[in-house]
Amino acid sequence: MCGVAGWLDFERDLTQHGGTVRTMAAAMANRGPDAEAVWTDRRIALAFRRLAVIDLPGGHQPMVAEENGRTLAVLVYNGEVYNYRELREELAGRGHVFHTASDTEVVLAAYLEWGDDCAGHLDGMFAFGVWDPRENKLTLVRDRVGIKPLYYARVGHGFVFGSEVKALLAHPLVDAAVDGEGLAELLSFIATPGHAIYQGIHEVRAGHVLTVRENSVREHAYWSLPSREHTDRWDTTVDTVRHLLASSVSSHLVADVPLCTLLSGGIDSSAIVALTGKAMSGTRPRTFSVDFDGHTERFREDFWHHSPDAPYAAEVARFVGTEHQPITLHTADLADPVVGAAALTAQDLPRPTPDMDRSLYLLMRSVRQHSTVALMGEVADELFGGYRSFTDRNLVESDNFPWVTMGFGVAPHGMGTGLLEPALLAKVDVPGYSAGRHVEALREVPALPGEPAQDAMLRRIGYLHMTRWLPLLLARNDRLSMAVGLEVRVPYCDHRLVEYVFNIPWRFKTRGGEEKSPLRAAAAGLLPESVLRRKKSPFPITQDSSYGHVLREQLAAVVADSNSPVRPLVDLPAVTELLSEDRPIETVGWGERRNVEMVLQLDAWLRSYRVRIEL
């Protein structure tokens, strides 16, 4: 896993501008702690930061393909291609000669063989740029589901790109500005394809190829979620899910560095752990879990969390026989301003669940002390329909994204907005903005002729989760893991598995009255019965009241600071009323704490990034 950056200019000679792209890459140095390099030519400057995972001695970038002293193409590549060995053999049969054992060289050869169509031959998680001096063309490619990030912006007579927004903001021609639409996107908690919040900055869409020439920028899809009739019977469906997931897990275990699996004790991650154990026959898999000090003892069930993770994670570890290490966090860890700044900077944006971000960051940081690669169970809920937003009719039948509608139940303008200035909220109009984006998204859903109305409706809900919700989670996982130099892999994102499960009918996904029934059936015999039957419980949050005291103190400090950049955006009377109550901020549930945390996040973001808000 790595960080890439580049600057293309069709008028300026960039031969002497390697320092600029080096600075862009240095802004995300944590993505590549093992090596850095720069390559320049008249029209383009490329920079690379490497986290070595496969072929440690080889695979150096930017990688240049030459023939008779002539440069054919130059590649900067982030990710892993899991079928690179098969592709290497195929490409060797077509006359390509390889000098390393890396997947990087395979990607470069694939471009030379198939051009922009190379993306469809790659299986894995990847985002890369190829400069082709033969055509004066830059090609940017992103994997099918959007696991790995890639951003870009037009500047003057050129174009800049990078693995993270911070790389672009390090370029002297790119400003940190956010307009009303960007703020609405941020507060809506949706991921509109291509949108990057910051004005003038965009993200290459998942499953897309973007080509840049002197007079044009074009983007086209090479993959999208397909709708197909599901004709398999129940037993065949379960067998296919088991086979596809096992195959994906096996391919994700390829690495030349220490590897582990993150374990929550839920069915999603537990299935990955069990299949990892089978694939690593004779070797004990290593697993890590996260918990808060005293959380199991003082746990209180809320709308989302039905049970603490720790007992289930320990049970799975014993059952599978893993080398398990629980990571215990303390309230002081979450309140540490250094940790808060690290989690915010990793994502380049404020998010309404910063405590979850910090705890995930701390987990990743602890895991990185032992492993360079970690598998995790993300995406199963989006695929198999594990959220309440698939089953609650009030959410499913609303005229907005289900999770956004759920947020309106916490605050009228959405989760985390309860302490923001009413005039600001009226101008930004989160309900109207998200409703408009919802209509756009529904137009994209691939219809299946003759499908029953119930299945068609839930196909739409699944599509919304896969294309507007999942990108938020994948981005969080990528940024927080790469902030500590840890590569996270997501076996549920295998496109063959995604295509198959997306089309499983709802009666199968809820067979027996349980959510994610095909996955539970596929894991039968691999896991304890208690885990197979466990209800969905999201990533844990601390319920310690002392965290509420910390939030109260931090909120009071922010509003007392007359120079705080967030003050114009805050409903000061509402904050004053809240602080007048002699109690800590409520830490059970997602209402009050999220409102306070959003104010604190916005303040930290505006200060550290010097963001210019343009409404």
Residue 613 β-bridge partners: 178
Per-residue b/e over 337-351, b at no fewer than 16 CB within 10 Å? eebbebbbbbbbbbb
Angle between helices 430-444 and 180-188 in degrees, nearest 10: 80
Nearest by Cα to 60 from 29, 89, 38, 91: 38
**Bond prior to 62 in cis (omega within 30° of 0):** yes
Q: CA angle, 263 as apex, 487 and 293 as ends, to 5°?
A: 105
Indicate the residue type of 455. D
What is the distance between the alpha carbons of residues 606 and 610, in angstroms, rounded to a whole number?
Answer: 5
Per-residue b/e over 599-613, b at no fewer than 16 CB within 10 Å? bbbbbbbbeebebeb
Write a three-state SS string for 254-278: CCCCCEEEECCCCHHHHHHHHHHHH
- Give the catalytic positions in this structure: 2
Which positions ≥6 away from 86 have C-beta within 8 Å? none
Token match 């927080």: residue?
A: 480
Structural contact between residues 168 and 27, judged by C-beta atoms closer than 8 angstroms: no
Residue 9 is given by DSSP the state E
What is the distance between the alpha carbons of residues 75 and 106, in angstroms, rounded to a whole number?
Answer: 11
Cβ atoms within 10 Å, residue 108? 27
Indicate the residue type of 556. A
Which positions ≥6 away from 443 have C-beta within 8 Å? none
**Backbone torsions φ then ψ of 305, nearest 5 degrees:** -100, 120
Which positions ≥6 away from 136 have C-beta within 8 Å? 10, 43, 213, 214
Cβ atoms within 10 Å, residue 4? 33
Angle between helices 495-502 and 453-464 in degrees, nearest 10: 150
Residue 132 β-bridge partners: 137
